[in-house]
């Protein structure tokens, strides 16, 4: 039997009434009264509770007086009084003065915002059910001031959009600051989306002025008014109109100009508190939004819109792509000093120099750009039309698989080694930035877990490049081998090493030791490692190398140099085998395996603070020895927890050094291909610059941050925490320091047992090591010095004992 709705309402009515009457919060604010930021009950609610008006936390101790949807999961803000000037979390207040002025005061009493109104009559402030905050004259029941006249980035149903209003997007996800995208009526009476950046301003929707009519707009109605009605229909005086996909009475909607420059209509799903996209402009592709990736930046779908910098350019602001990329070079005007980097399937829209030509050869186009100081690069399409687009500025970069344009960016000669290398670097995408750009794909769950959008924004940051084949400029090895390479001497070096106890094993010996390579204990970029026991009972780690192209003599020479390196914090190489196609290295076996297993995976061993500090110091010593004290300086090029082994006394031993040398590609420039690891690569790797010891310092800095936080920088090693994948340890740590919240980032496994001074020092050192500018990173020996200064006597004793 169906129960009539009427009865249900009848039965529930008293409860509903109670619920409404019992709503906490205030319905009005009277003259002489205030809402105080620290008082949790000081907020206004609309009659049915749809909207709430109060202090909204936008950062640590930073609040904005805002209006939000009460029932949206993330308290979606629709209006802010002071979006660009948050107030203090203590003593700030919103006061309605007897004079009729509504004023927002900061802790120090300064006026941050006011309604600028005066009234001698009795007034009060109310939050209406539409989301409109109004100041009304109670006697005449007239609105003196309303928030609907001053929208921020959102238009609500029934809110009039007029010639005087502009929606301004947020700067980036969760920041609430004024951004650069505007929605407004232009001088032609047409509703436009406009990028209004610090350096340029341009309309990106509708497509262009000449196609106003094509877009169905009219410039003739000068009333300049638009409104979204209660049933989801939007109408503008320029003839622009659309209906929500869920058109009809019911859903609460908002039209928001999002931080990515796209205007979207959302409908609230009250059951989950999530937002559903119910309209967006057709043909407005995220990558076509101007300024999205800033000057020189390139937008690409991966599959979501993502920004990258071209080779030789550096991202200007790690948390804000609209700041674009800057070149790491200065261009001269001398054609003899210039060259081009090629970016396939890429174009930069607009900013063509007036030397555009069609039907000319690539070489001619190149010459033209080379000889024009103003030309920053040129586009040339492989479509047989011979179109040459010299560019005065590189803006609105867009990469797309179907694009046949090849962009040629002007760079100093010598920066481009080969087109191949350029491609390898530029096609890699800093995909974490999608966290800031994606909106449509926010599932309700996403949004819920993302309560603190601001923090998420701070964390979401990309500094890593996924598994790229990197070019390791093994300069150190070049110095080592300048003297030996390809001559008799190299073999001599091998013999000397043999005399020092370094042994050449036969293949059958190693086959026996490892029981036919049975027990695999690790796998790296260079081969697989097996555990084995030698005839003299020594336990060894046997590494079968894959892909060594060198001849026997060279291989001998090179391993024997590695064999000579002897330091307690470096894994000792005891010997090698080179027979036929077999190239094998024999190392001392290190008891506790690699640091990543202990640090990131659920391991029965939990590293205590002293052990972590000791690992930090020991690893630094090992690297300092490689860089500065050993025969000649040697780069590691792949410092990461997987390459730091821990012995039975929890003393670290750096493994896998010298690989760059064994995998040298045979030419004498000293280049060698090495697989770098995302998360640990210094910025210079991505810029094709010569790599020096400071690249190892950078990676070491990342390892320090991992020791502190227990989080993996590469995101791949952590089995437990998926959300670290896109987080950036550097950013997180920097932020925590600034906010003096270091304890928040510390590995929870430490259970707050750590030495404060040492922690502080370790963070300081880590942040020095990961400085973008490598000249400001300390040398490894300096790192050792800085860390040793903070060692406790007890730690020193233990260190001494284990050395003896
Ligand atoms: C101009 O637009 C307004 C609002 O859409 C409309 O009411 C008015 O009739 C239009 N005027 C003309 C001349 O079409
Ligand atoms: C480029 O030139 C400026 C000014 O002359 C200088 O400060 C800067 O260091 C130069 N940059 C590079 C990468 O050489």
- For ligand 1, say whether the CB of 218 is within 6 Å of any of its atoms: no
CA 327 to ligand 2: nearest atom: 13
Q: Between 644 and 440, where is the model more confident?
A: 644
Average pLDDT for 772-798:
84
Domain CATH number, residue 322: 3.50.4.10
790 & 743 share domain? yes
Does pLDDT of 230 surpass 70?
yes
Q: Are 380 and 368 in contact (CB under 8 A)?
A: no
Q: What is the pLDDT of residue 36?
A: 95
Q: Of 369, 402, 421, which one is at a domain's C-terminal end?
A: 421
776 & 632 share domain? yes
Domain CATH number, residue 185: 2.90.10
| Ligand with smallest separation from the Cα of 412 | 2
Residue 100 located in a structural domain: yes
Residue 441 located in a structural domain: no
Domain CATH number, residue 689: 1.10.510.10
Does pLDDT of 594 surpass 60?
yes
Q: Between 213 and 157, where is the model more confident?
A: 157
Residue % of the chain over a pLDDT of 70: 77
Q: Are 458 and 60 in contact (CB under 8 A)?
A: no
Q: What is the pLDDT of residue 691?
A: 72
Angle at 55 between CA 49 and CA 59, to 5 degrees: 130
Domain extent for 59? 19-150
Look at ligand 2, atom 5, and give the residue with the nearest C-alpha. 330
CA 329 to ligand 2: nearest atom: 13
Pick the range with the lowest mean pLDDT from 127-141, 192-206, 647-661.
192-206
CA-CA distance, 129 to 410, in Å (whole number)? 57
CA-CA distance, 67 to 45, in Å (whole number)? 9
544 & 609 share domain? no
Joined together, the tokens standing for residue 67 give 């209006």
681 & 740 share domain? yes
CA-CA distance, 318 to 309, in Å (whole number)? 12
CA 221 to ligand 1: nearest atom: 1
535 & 667 share domain? no
Does pLDDT of 750 surpass 50?
yes
Does pLDDT of 227 surpass 50?
yes
CA 328 to ligand 2: nearest atom: 13
Confidence of residue 211 (pLDDT cuts 50, 70, 90): low
CA of 730 to the centre of ligand 2 (A): 26
Does pLDDT of 104 surpass 50?
yes
Look at ligand 2, atom 10, and give the residue with the nearest C-alpha. 330
Look at ligand 1, atom 5, and give the residue with the nearest C-alpha. 237
CB neighbours of 638 closer than 8 A, spacing ≥ 6?
Answer: 525, 656, 659, 674, 675, 676, 677, 680, 699
Joined together, the tokens standing for residue 317 give 């602001």
Number of neighbours of residue 564 by Cβ within 10 angstroms: 15
Average pLDDT for 105-125:
92
- For ligand 1, say whether the CB of 225 is within 6 Å of any of its atoms: yes
Q: Of 382, 402, 421, which one is at a domain's C-terminal end?
A: 421
Most confident region among 9-13, 109-113, 217-221, 741-745 by mean pLDDT: 109-113
CA of 222 to the centre of ligand 1 (A): 8
Pick the range with the lowest mean pLDDT from 130-134, 486-490, 704-708.
486-490
Residue 467 located in a structural domain: no
- For ligand 1, say whether the CB of 222 is within 6 Å of any of its atoms: no
| Ligand with smallest separation from the Cα of 223 | 1
Look at ligand 1, atom 4, and give the residue with the nearest C-alpha. 237
Joined together, the tokens standing for residue 407 give 């962009």
Q: What is the pLDDT of residues 46-86, one digit of tens each?
A: 999 999 999 998 877 789 999 999 999 889 999 999 998 88
Eight-class DSSP state of 412:
E
CA of 183 to the centre of ligand 1 (A): 20
Most confident region among 303-312, 362-371, 620-629 by mean pLDDT: 362-371
Q: What is the pLDDT of residues 231-281, one digit of tens each?
A: 999 999 998 999 999 999 989 999 999 988 889 999 999 889 999 999 988
Look at ligand 2, atom 12, and give the residue with the nearest C-alpha. 329
CA of 331 to the centre of ligand 2 (A): 10
Q: Are 35 and 42 in contact (CB under 8 A)?
A: yes
Confidence of residue 432 (pLDDT cuts 50, 70, 90): very low
Domain CATH number, residue 570: 3.30.200.20
Q: Between 797 and 748, where is the model more confident?
A: 748
- Mutation pick for ligand 1 pocket among 191, 237, 238, 241 (CB with most ligand atoms within 8 Å): 237
Residue 743 located in a structural domain: yes
CA of 328 to the centre of ligand 2 (A): 9
Active site residue 260: no
Joined together, the tokens standing for residue 570 give 């470096």
404 & 497 share domain? no
CA 330 to ligand 2: nearest atom: 1
Q: Between 613 and 417, where is the model more confident?
A: 613
Q: What is the pLDDT of residue 17?
A: 42
CA of 414 to the centre of ligand 2 (A): 17
Average pLDDT for 674-695:
70
Residue 439 located in a structural domain: no
CA of 207 to the centre of ligand 1 (A): 23
Q: How many CA atoms lie within 13 A of 347 on its CB side?
A: 18
Give me the chain's average pLDDT, please.
Answer: 77
249 & 183 share domain? yes
Q: Between 636 and 341, where is the model more confident?
A: 341
CA-to-CA separations, 489 to 276, 478, 486, 578, 761, in angstroms, rounded: 72, 15, 8, 18, 46
747 by DSSP, 3-state: which? coil
Pairing between β-strand 102-105 and β-strand 469-473 as defined by DSSP bridges:
unpaired
CA of 136 to the centre of ligand 1 (A): 30
271 & 367 share domain? no
Look at ligand 1, atom 6, and give the residue with the nearest C-alpha. 237
Q: What is the pLDDT of residue 538?
A: 85
Pairing between β-strand 503-504 and β-strand 573-579 as defined by DSSP bridges:
parallel
- For ligand 2, say whether the CB of 328 is within 6 Å of any of its atoms: yes
Q: Of 530, 555, 588, which one is at a domain's C-terminal end?
A: 588
Q: What is the pLDDT of residue 314?
A: 86
- Mutation pick for ligand 2 pocket among 314, 326, 329, 330 (CB with most ligand atoms within 8 Å): 330
CA-CA distance, 81 to 112, in Å (whole number)? 9
- For ligand 2, say whether the CB of 330 is within 6 Å of any of its atoms: yes
- For ligand 2, say whether the CB of 329 is within 6 Å of any of its atoms: yes
301 & 359 share domain? yes
Most confident region among 390-399, 418-427, 466-475 by mean pLDDT: 390-399
Does pLDDT of 488 surpass 60?
no
Average pLDDT for 579-592:
88
Candidates 254, 81, 90; CA nearest to 159 is 254
Residue 356 located in a structural domain: yes
Give the DSSP H/E element, type plus range, for residue 592: none
Q: What is the pLDDT of residue 153?
A: 96
Domain count, the chain: 5
601 & 721 share domain? yes
Most confident region among 152-156, 408-412, 717-721 by mean pLDDT: 152-156
- For ligand 1, say whether the CB of 223 is within 6 Å of any of its atoms: yes
Confidence of residue 473 (pLDDT cuts 50, 70, 90): very low
- For ligand 2, say whether the CB of 648 is within 6 Å of any of its atoms: no
Does pLDDT of 18 surpass 70?
no
Which of 42, 153, 610, 638 is the catalytic position?
Answer: 638
Q: Between 201 and 14, where is the model more confident?
A: 201
283 & 360 share domain? no
Residue 691 located in a structural domain: yes
CB neighbours of 719 closer than 8 A, spacing ≥ 6?
Answer: 600, 601, 602
Binding site members for ATP: 543
Q: Between 162 and 793, where is the model more confident?
A: 162
Pick the range with the lowest mean pLDDT from 108-112, 279-283, 689-693.
689-693
CA-to-CA separations, 783 to 136, 325, 653, 775, in angstroms, rounded: 65, 31, 17, 14
322 & 372 share domain? yes
Q: What is the pLDDT of residue 472?
A: 29
Binding site members: 543
């Amino acid at each position: 039997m169906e129960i009539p709705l009427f009865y249900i309402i009848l039965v529930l009515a008293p409860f509903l009434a109670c619920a409404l009457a019992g709503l906490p919060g205030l319905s009005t604010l009277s003259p002489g009264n205030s809402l105080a930021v620290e008082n949790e009950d000081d907020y206004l609610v609309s009659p049915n509770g749809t909207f709430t008006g109060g202090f909204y936390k936008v950062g640590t101790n930073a609040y904005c007086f805002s209006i939000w949807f009460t029932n949206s999961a993330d308290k979606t803000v629709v209006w802010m009084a002071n979006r660009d000037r948050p107030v203090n979390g203590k003593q700030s207040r919103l006061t309605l003065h007897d004079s009729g002025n509504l004023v927002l005061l900061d802790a120090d009493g300064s006026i941050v915002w006011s309604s600028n109104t005066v009234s001698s009559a009795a007034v009060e402030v109310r939050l209406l059910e539409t989301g409109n905050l109004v100041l009304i004259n109670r006697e005449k029941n007239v609105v003196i001031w309303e928030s609907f006249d001053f929208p921020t980035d959102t238009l609500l149903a029934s809110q009039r959009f007029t010639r005087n209003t502009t929606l301004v997007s947020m700067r980036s996800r969760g920041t609430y600051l004024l951004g650069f995208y505007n929605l407004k009526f232009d001088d032609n009476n047409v509703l436009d989306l406009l990028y209004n950046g610090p350096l340029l301003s341009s309309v990106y929707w509708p497509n262009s002025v000449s196609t106003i009519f094509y877009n169905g707009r009219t410039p003739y109605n000068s009333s300049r008014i638009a409104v979204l009605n209660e049933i989801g229909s939007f109408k503008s005086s320029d003839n622009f109109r659309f209906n929500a996909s869920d058109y009809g009475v019911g859903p609460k909607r908002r039209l928001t100009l999002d931080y990515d420059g796209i205007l979207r209509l959302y409908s609230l799903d009250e059951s989950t508190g999530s937002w559903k996209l119910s309209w967006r402009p057709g043909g407005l592709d995220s990558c076509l939004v101007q300024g999205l990736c800033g000057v020189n930046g390139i937008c690409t779908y991966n599959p979501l819109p993502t920004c990258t910098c071209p080779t030789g350019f550096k991202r200007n602001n790690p948390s804000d792509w609209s700041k674009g990329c800057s070149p790491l070079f200065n261009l001269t005007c001398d054609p003899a000093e210039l060259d081009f980097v090629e970016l396939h399937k890429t174009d930069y829209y607009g900013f063509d120099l007036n030397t555009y030509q069609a039907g000319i050869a690539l070489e001619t186009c190149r010459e033209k750009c080379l000889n024009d100081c103003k030309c920053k690069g040129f586009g040339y399409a492989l479509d047989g039309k011979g179109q040459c687009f010299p560019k005065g500025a590189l803006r609105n970069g867009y990469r797309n698989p179907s694009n046949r344009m090849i962009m040629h960016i002007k760079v100093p000669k010598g920066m481009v080694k080969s087109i191949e290398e350029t491609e390898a670097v530029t096609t890699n995408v800093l995909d974490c930035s999608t966290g800031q750009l994606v909106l449509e794909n926010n599932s309700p769950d996403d949004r819920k877990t993302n309560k603190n959008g601001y923090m998420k924004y701070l964390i979401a940051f990309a500094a890593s490049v996924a598994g790229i084949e990197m070019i390791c400029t093994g300069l150190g090895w070049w110095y080592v081998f300048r003297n030996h390479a390809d001559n008799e001497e190299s073999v001599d070096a091998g013999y000397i090493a043999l005399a020092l106890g370094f042994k050449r094993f036969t293949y059958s010996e190693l086959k026996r030791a490892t029981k036919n390579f049975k027990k695999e204990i690790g796998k790296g970029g260079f081969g697989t490692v097996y555990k084995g026991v030698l005839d003299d009972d020594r336990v060894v780690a046997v590494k079968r190398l894959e892909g060594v192209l060198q001849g026997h003599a060279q291989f001998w020479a090179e391993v024997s140099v590695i064999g000579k390196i002897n330091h307690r914090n470096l894994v000792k190489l005891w010997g090698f085998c080179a027979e036929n196609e077999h190239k094998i290295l024999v190392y001392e076996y290190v008891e506790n395996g690699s640091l990543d297993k202990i640090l990131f995976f659920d391991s029965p061993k939990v590293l205590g603070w002293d052990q972590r500090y000791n690992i930090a110091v020991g690893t630094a010593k090992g690297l300092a020895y490689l860089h500065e004290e050993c025969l000649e300086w040697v780069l590691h090029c792949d410092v990461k927890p997987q390459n730091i082994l821990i012995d039975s006394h929890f003393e670290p031993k750096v493994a896998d050094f010298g690989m760059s040398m064994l995998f040298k590609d045979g030419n004498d420039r000293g280049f060698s291909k090495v697989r770098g690891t995302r998360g640990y690569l210094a910025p210079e790797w991505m810029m094709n610059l010569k790599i020096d010891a400071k690249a190892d310092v950078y990676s070491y800095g990342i390892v320090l941050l991992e020791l502190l936080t227990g989080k993996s920088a590469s995101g791949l090693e952590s089995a437990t925490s998926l959300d670290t994948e896109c987080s950036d340890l550097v950013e997180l740590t920097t932020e925590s320091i600034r906010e003096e919240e270091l304890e928040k980032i510390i590995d929870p496994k430490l259970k707050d047992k750590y030495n404060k001074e040492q922690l502080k020092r370790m963070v300081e050192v880590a942040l020095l090591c990961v400085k973008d500018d490598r000249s400001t990173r300390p040398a490894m020996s300096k790192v050792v010095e800085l860390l040793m200064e903070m060692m406790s006597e007890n730690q020193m004793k233990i260190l001494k004992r284990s050395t003896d």
